[in-house]
Amino acid sequence: MSILDKQKQLKKELSLLHVYAIATGATIADGFFLLPGMAYSSAGPAMILSYLIAVIPVIPALFSMSELSTAMPRAGGVYFFLDRSMGPLLGTIGGLGTWLALILKTAFALVGIGAYMGLFFPDIPMMPFAVGFAVIFGFINLFGAKKTGGFQTVLVLGILAILVWFSFIGLFEMKAVFFTNLFKTDYVPVLSTAGLVYVSYVGLSKIASVSEEVKNPERNLPLAMFMALGTAVLIYLVGTSVMIGVIPGNELSNNLTPVATAANILVGKWGAVLMTIAAVLAFLSVANVGILSSSRYPLAMSRDHLVPPIFRKLNKNQVPVNAIIITVVLIILILLVFDITRIAKLAGAFQLLLFALSSLAVIVMRESRIASYDPGYKSPLYPWMQIFGIITPFWIIVEMGWLPSLFSLGLLGAGSFWYFYYAKGKVIRDGAIYHIFARLGEQRFEGLDAELRGILKEKGLRDQDPFDAVVASAKIIDINYKTDFEYIVRQASEKFEKLVKVDASILKKSFLDGTLVGATPVSNNAALPHLRLPDLAHSEMIIIRAKYGINVEIDHEVSGKHLPTDKINAFFFLISPENNPGQHLRILAQIASHVDDKKFIKNWLDAKNEQDIKELLLRDDRYMRLMLLPNSPAAELIGTPINKLNLPDGCLIALIHRAGEIIVPQGQTILEQNDQLTLIGYPIGIEQLYEKYDHSR
């Protein structure tokens, strides 16, 4: 599958706050409420250093996942990254393994509630509660990511409020004597304890699996990840310091409810009750996120035909109903059949392996040099950050012992078996790694480039992309007679010659050659011939409207593409700087998104003038048309030179339609009565102009 149909996509409902709550809630649970007692038994007061050391190998993984998820915001997270970078075999292994690992972690979180509830209800069996919560969260997930994210936000804000109170009270009651041996502990137990508490930060990566449902993923995904990381580090350092500072060492060591113990010492039994509530909320938060994120893995794999199609069914809320139900059923089976406290930690080594592979995926995607790989966030210190991110997880895996490593090998074997038994004959794609082979004379998979271009179209433009300015300054040629494609190309090339200082014959040949081999996107009666040139300051566009339509010839044998049957009425010739391929492709993708509208060509042919044509392409929230009529709010602009106008920052007059003619505005141009202005700018500025001059909306 290359580009998802809109009806098959998941809704983009998750805001920055939702994503932050998901990442934070998936992180602050066992690492804060269960592990400090075990960590203290190994490292003593120096466990604070262990929590700090443990975050170091997480950073490369977060940098890598931030880059990958902003380039490919698709359900399935790590699965999708591995599949598209290194092929469906590794994708299958990563997808099935992560699905099982998250199911185990979710089941463990539900059981973890019992450790704290047992303080007050020791005789009540906790298993029915764990199963009941699994069903409840599965039901909540069926209502959509927004409802799940909203519930998650309430849980996390409640947890953070209680933890802030706990930390504030505890900071004033800590005893310095309990920190005496902080820097005297041998480094070996400190490092091994770092391997133990590393899992505290693993939840930060879960939001990658729901990236398809995130609004403005290029901004919100990396920002939420690092906000959640900062929150987790602060809470772990301050919270564990409070525990060490108020609980005697012999009581803290191997204590499974250290936060409740500390709160009981600080303010009495009601403090222990409050922290028990926080612990329950934290584990419920992990379970809620676990069902949300884990259910997206079989959905993504089903889209790619790696698991049965039953998993890709969406309900009326655009959520994967069967994937959620089957995930919840597996969680309940594991709760009822296995001793989850013994097997959940085995999945940690596999997640570490996936962290390493995510860093490797960044290297593969970048070195493939696919122009349509266009992340909104790029990892710093490439490739050293990724090399560090590949090496360090294996060190932690060694620290975890041989049993988790064997479990990971078992998942590798199971995933490989499933791929060769079920999936291999159902997929025809390969990963970006073949684009690296292409540079060495081997094969490449063109479908990946097409898929990434589809993702570019879905993500849209970035704020700094000059799309509106390119459209506003574009030259328009109206051809109201029958002709051929070569004539169209010659007309565009001669116009470009004056703009880009390149001989028209060279441009003509490049456009024709690109079209011949299928490099020109052609669909819905529109074509987008395009080039990138060195030493060009900014993008330039020539727009041609052909009333009678033009046949565009593509060589089947050279391009491997089918000849379009429809004649072309709209041509968008684009030339961009060679050093910014991502922006070039985003501009093309934005034009393509307009062309995809079923009404576009009719409106295109019906447009009365250049102003109407350009406004078909401008984004609704970034332009406005303003009539300068007497007795209207805009009348105050009549008779004013453009350079004397007080427009909002970033806004400008792009076109003036006056008495049947289009005038390109200059600083000294004086506005006249009955002028039709086309203004472009940032959404906030355009909104201010509407509020001031046009109250009809």
449 in a structural domain: no
- Give the Cβ contact number of residue 41 at 10 Å: 16
Structural domain count, the chain = 3
Mark which of 583, 615, 647 sits at the end of a domain: 615
Residues 188 and 245 in one domain: yes
393 in a structural domain: yes
Residues 372 and 512 in one domain: no
115 in a structural domain: yes
* Distance, CA of 181 to chain centre: 44
Residues 611 and 628 in one domain: no
| Parent domain of 663 | 620-693
Nearest to 80 by CA among 147, 27, 15, 10: 10
**CATH code (residue 547):** 3.40.930.10
Tell how many helices (H) and how many strands (E) occur in the chain.
30, 10
Residues 504 and 420 in one domain: no
451 in a structural domain: no
Crossing angle for the helix pair 384-400 and 402-418, to the nearest 10 degrees: 120
Specify whether the CB–CB gap between 134 and 328 falls below 8 A: yes
Helices (H), 311-376: 321-337, 340-343, 347-368
Phi-psi region of 294 (alpha: psi -120 to 50; beta: other; left: phi over 0): alpha
d(CA 519, CA 521): 6
**CATH code (residue 354):** 1.20.1740.10
441 in a structural domain: no
d(CA 100, CA 104): 6
Specify whether the CB–CB gap between 496 and 504 falls below 8 A: yes
- Predicted local confidence at residue 557, as pLDDT: 45
Residues 239 and 198 in one domain: yes
Residues 403 and 494 in one domain: no
432 in a structural domain: no
Residues 23 and 128 in one domain: yes
- Give the Cβ contact number of residue 462 at 10 Å: 15
Specify whether the CB–CB gap between 110 and 331 falls below 8 A: yes
d(CA 470, CA 460): 16
d(CA 680, CA 472): 8
Residues 586 and 666 in one domain: no
3-state helix/strand/coil string of 421-458:
HHHHHHCCCCCCHHHHHHHCCCCCCHHHHHHHHHHHHH
333 in a structural domain: yes
For the range 262-269, what are the long-range contacts, defined as Cβ-Cβ under 8 Å and sequence gap of 24 or more?
262/166, 262/170, 263/166, 265/173, 266/166, 266/169, 266/170, 266/173, 267/169
3-state helix/strand/coil string of 147-162:
HHHHHHHHHHHHHHHH
Give exposure, 388-413, as e/b (b: 16+ Cβ within 10 Å): bbbebbeebbebbeeebbebbeebbe
Q: What does residue 591 show for φ and ψ, rounded to 5 degrees?
A: -60, -45
* Distance, CA of 88 to chain centre: 21
- Predicted local confidence at residue 347, as pLDDT: 72
- Say how many residues make up the chain: 697
* Cβ within 8 Å of residue 451, ≥6 positions away: 1, 2, 3, 84
d(CA 566, CA 570): 12
* Cβ within 8 Å of residue 83, ≥6 positions away: 76, 90, 91, 92, 94, 95, 304, 306, 431
**CATH code (residue 634):** 3.30.70.1450
- Give the Cβ contact number of residue 470 at 10 Å: 19
Q: Give the strands of the sheet with 661-663, arranged side by side.
A: 623-627, 676-680, 652-658, 661-663
Residue type at position 235: I
Specify whether the CB–CB gap between 588 and 601 falls below 8 A: no
Mark which of 562, 593, 615 sits at the end of a domain: 615
- Predicted local confidence at residue 697, as pLDDT: 57
Helix (H) or strand (E) holding 173, with range, is none
Q: What does residue 319 show for φ and ψ, rounded to 5 degrees?
A: -125, 150
Helix (H) or strand (E) holding 626, with range, is strand 623-627
Residues 404 and 495 in one domain: no
Instruction: Give the residue ranges of the chain where pLDDT is below 70.
Output: 1-9, 114-115, 119, 184-185, 340-345, 428-449, 516-519, 554-565, 695-697
Nearest to 148 by CA among 319, 302, 297, 303: 319
- Predicted local confidence at residue 165, as pLDDT: 94
Residues 517 and 627 in one domain: no
Residues 535 and 592 in one domain: yes
What is the secondary structure of 5-70 as a DSSP string? Answer: -GGGSPP--B-HHHHHHHHHHTTSSHHHHTHHHHHHHHHGGGHHHHHHHHHTTHHHHHHHHHHHHH
d(CA 312, CA 309): 6
* Cβ within 8 Å of residue 323, ≥6 positions away: 295, 296, 297, 298, 299, 302, 311, 312
Residues 566 and 591 in one domain: yes
- Predicted local confidence at residue 6, as pLDDT: 46
440 in a structural domain: no
Specify whether the CB–CB gap between 111 and 126 falls below 8 A: yes
